[in-house]
């Protein structure tokens, strides 16, 4: 499920950020971004106006 993947990636990023190590932060951030994009593609809002 997308929500559980989001929570998992969010937790991983939160644990990584305090290290200030960009080689660890950026891949984690990219994984979180991919989950966000997948969710937005799955759950779109249709403008019916």
The answer, as to whether pTM is greater than 0.85, is no
Q: Is the pLDDT of residue 2 over 70?
A: no
Query: Does the residue 8 lie in any domain?
Result: yes
Residues 34 and 5 sit within 8 Å (Cβ to Cβ): no
- What proportion of the chain, given as a percentage, has pLDDT over 90? 27
Per-residue pLDDT of 29-45, as tens digits, reads 998 898 888 888 888 76
Query: Does the residue 36 lie in any domain?
Result: yes
Residues 9 and 31 sit within 8 Å (Cβ to Cβ): yes
Q: Is the pLDDT of residue 49 over 60?
A: no
Residue 8 structural domain = 2-42
b (16+ CB within 10 A) / e for 10-28? eebbeebeeeeeeeeeeeb
Name the domain count of the chain: 1
What is the predicted pLDDT for the residue at 22? 94
Query: Does the residue 49 lie in any domain?
Result: no
């Amino acid at each position: 499920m997308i929500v559980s993947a989001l929570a998992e990636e969010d937790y991983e990023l939160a644990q990584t950020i305090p290290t200030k190590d960009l080689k660890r932060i950026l891949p984690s951030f990219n994984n979180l971004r991919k989950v966000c994009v997948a969710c937005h593609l799955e759950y779109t809002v249709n403008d019916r106006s």
